[in-house]
Amino acid sequence: MPEHSAFNFKANIDKALADGQLRGNLRSAMDGLRVKRRAVFPAADELEALRTQGEAIKRRALSRLPELLTQLEAKCTANGVQVHWAETKEEANRTVLNIMRRHGAELMVKGKSMVSEEMGLNHFLEDQGLEVMETDLGEFIIQLAGEPPSHIIVPAVHKNKDQIAKIFHELIPDTPYTEDVDELTAIARATLRQKYFQGQVGLSGVNFAVAETGTLCLVENEGNGRMCTTVPPVHIAVMGLEKVVEKLEEVPPLLRLLTGSATGQLITTYFNMITSPRRKGEKDGPQEVHLLILDNGRSAMLNDPELRQSLQCIRCGTCLNHCPVYVRIGGHAYGFVYPGPIGEVITPQLEGLEKAGALAGASSLCQACGEVCPVRIPLPDLIRRMRREGVGQGADCCVRDCGTKRSALESLAWKAWALLNTSPRLNALNNMILGRLGNHLPKLGPLAAWTTGRTAPRFAPKSLHQLANEEGLHRD
Ligand code: SF4
């Protein structure tokens, strides 16, 4: 990931917009994902009923979160799963390292996990001299390329077939160049296959953790998740504390919403339900299972009734696919682990507004993200809340670094705007000046940035008031 202190959102956006290849790749991938989602939810009323159900399940779980987490811990422990808690990502990384050290492990095979990305786990373990092998195909590709994921669900969505062929040819020893998709998949498979048997530790994410049974549910399409969680002798599952739900019967509606929204599938190829380490008489499975539950700022979100809704997210990625900003700039421009509308809401809360507050500006507030979110998170409202927190002060604020995006110049500009629009005389004067001179203003500073890709609006020579006066319609 980029150095956050050097995070320059505007420069990242300019770079992404200038990259025609990136825009083309994103465009075709996002178009495809949206079409598939629409096809899998053909009946609007059925989808709305499912969304209502999904929202209710997540809201209910959040309203009883401490109780459900305690229940989950007790059930997991009774099932033989070792539960660890981490308040920060540093603590979480150290916990994983300790487990690996205890087993003398030097290689971890890793399934897809956004929480592990949030922790910066790969870099942390590599700095300790350990090897981490990503096994999800998309993650494998970007690990080879030395890049972070650019999408929550499709990490290598910004790459096309030709680019992947080049990466494989250049970075996997003795690999001939091929653009044949089957051959590329076979190359990845052959490279990864041996690693599953060499890795002493396998790591996975968790899509849903069921409190009443202690079941860890894992959704995937490639079978790599199953390999990571069954072949190595030790399995570590990492999850944010919001992943818990109360009952097993609540999983199917959430699963349907997740797979349909994420990839337009009725069900994924694999759905794993992990309840314990290998039991006596069982032929496979790890000897140890660890569940690592990460807070990293989530408790603070839970304490605010509006921000708490951020924790309903099931990480389906569909808000990204429908966002006109994300679709044009891709995930890397956002500079942090979670891109798109959900990233604009949770990253400032996780990283603070000083570092990440600019993200909330990357929205046209067209409402598309809120309309497609399967658990009805009011993303546009929460994005506006982040903007308010960025310039806010006093008791209304609760997000870290609140008020640090306040600009004296912008504040002055809005005060002037308010004055011009609340004083009839000033408003009439302003309209008259703009009508005469507005179309001849030089396009400088922010105006130049605005008009580079857009046609500047033309000011009417006469205001509505003037026209009404001339027609004798004005009552003043
Ligand atoms: S905010 Fe909603 S649409 Fe976006 S990733 Fe989360 S669940 Fe999916």
What's the confidence (pLDDT) of residue 364?
94
Task: Kindly give the distance from the C-alpha atom of residue 436 to the centroid of ligand 1, in angstroms, as a whole number.
Answer: 47
What's the confidence (pLDDT) of residue 452?
76
Q: Pocket of ligand 1, candidates 41, 55, 242, 315: which has the most ligand atoms within 8 Å of its Cβ, to mutate? A: 315
What's the confidence (pLDDT) of residue 1?
47
Task: Kindly give the distance from the C-alpha atom of residue 374 to the centroid of ligand 1, in angstroms, as a whole number.
Answer: 7
Beta bridge pairs of residue 238: 292
Sheet holding 208-210, edge to edge: 244-245, 208-210, 215-220, 270-274
- What kind and span of H or E run contains 272? strand 270-274
* Residues within 6 Å of ligand 1 by CB: 261, 313-319, 342, 373-375, 377, 379
The crossing angle, in degrees rounded to 10, of helices 181-198 and 161-171 is: 50
Q: What is the DSSP string of 141-175?
A: HHHHHT---SSSS-TTTT--HHHHHHHHHHHSTT-
CA-proximal residue: ligand 1, atom 7 (nearest): 313
Q: Work out the percent of the chain whose per-residue pLDDT is above 70.
A: 98
Nearest to 326 by CA among 363, 375, 358: 363
* Atom of ligand 1 minimally distant from the CA of 345: 1
What's the confidence (pLDDT) of residue 476?
55
CB–CB of 222/140 below 8 Å? no
CA-proximal residue: ligand 1, atom 6 (nearest): 313
Q: Pocket of ligand 1, candidates 314, 325, 382: which has the most ligand atoms within 8 Å of its Cβ, to mutate? A: 314
Is the whole model's pTM more than 0.85, yes or no?
Answer: yes
| Backbone torsions φ then ψ of 443, nearest 5 degrees | -85, 85
pLDDT in tens, the chain (476 residues): 444 556 899 999 999 999 999 999 999 999 999 999 999 999 999 999 999 999 999 999 999 999 999 999 999 999 999 999 999 999 999 999 999 999 999 999 999 999 999 999 999 999 999 999 999 999 999 999 999 999 999 999 999 999 999 999 999 999 999 999 999 999 999 999 999 999 999 999 999 999 999 999 999 999 999 999 999 999 999 999 999 999 999 999 999 999 999 999 999 999 999 999 999 999 999 999 999 999 999 999 999 999 999 999 999 999 999 999 999 999 999 999 999 999 999 999 999 999 999 999 999 999 999 999 999 999 999 999 999 999 987 777 889 999 999 999 989 999 999 999 999 999 989 988 988 888 887 777 777 777 777 788 888 888 888 888 889 886 65
Q: Pocket of ligand 1, candidates 316, 327, 379, 386: which has the most ligand atoms within 8 Å of its Cβ, to mutate? A: 316
Task: Kindly give the distance from the C-alpha atom of residue 377 to the centroid of ligand 1, in angstroms, as a whole number.
Answer: 7
Residue 418 in tokens: 């308010």
The crossing angle, in degrees rounded to 10, of helices 44-63 and 65-79 is: 80
Q: Pocket of ligand 1, candidates 377, 379, 381: which has the most ligand atoms within 8 Å of its Cβ, to mutate? A: 377
Distance (Å, whole) CA 225 – CA 272:
8
Task: Kindly give the distance from the C-alpha atom of residue 383 to the centroid of ligand 1, in angstroms, as a whole number.
Answer: 13
Q: Is residue 316 classed as helix, strand or coil in its secondary structure?
A: coil
Q: What is the DSSP string of 372-413?
A: H-TT---HHHHHHHHHHHHH--GGG--STTTTTT--HHHHHH
Beta bridge pairs of residue 107: 131
What's the confidence (pLDDT) of residue 166?
97
Distance (Å, whole) CA 397 – CA 384:
13
Query: Please, what's the b/e burial string for 397-419 (b: 16 or more CB within 10 A of its CB; e: otherwise)?
Result: bbbbbbbebeeeeeeeeeeeeee
Task: Kindly give the distance from the C-alpha atom of residue 423 to the centroid of ligand 1, in angstroms, as a whole number.
Answer: 43
* Atom of ligand 1 minimally distant from the CA of 341: 4
CB–CB of 161/184 below 8 Å? yes
* Atom of ligand 1 minimally distant from the CA of 372: 3
Q: Is residue 367 classed as helix, strand or coil in its secondary structure?
A: coil
- Contacts (Cβ under 8 Å, ≥6 apart) of 102: none
Distance (Å, whole) CA 134 – CA 138:
9
What's the confidence (pLDDT) of residue 2?
46
Task: Kindly give the distance from the C-alpha atom of residue 310 to the centroid of ligand 1, in angstroms, as a whole number.
Answer: 9
CB–CB of 436/459 below 8 Å? no
CB–CB of 307/398 below 8 Å? yes
What's the confidence (pLDDT) of residue 418?
95
What's the confidence (pLDDT) of residue 438?
83
Distance (Å, whole) CA 219 – CA 266:
12
What's the confidence (pLDDT) of residue 474?
66
**C-alpha triplet 158, 162, 164: angle, nearest 5°:** 60
Q: Pocket of ligand 1, candidates 313, 349, 371, 386: which has the most ligand atoms within 8 Å of its Cβ, to mutate? A: 313
* Atom of ligand 1 minimally distant from the CA of 312: 7
What's the confidence (pLDDT) of residue 116?
98
CB–CB of 459/435 below 8 Å? yes
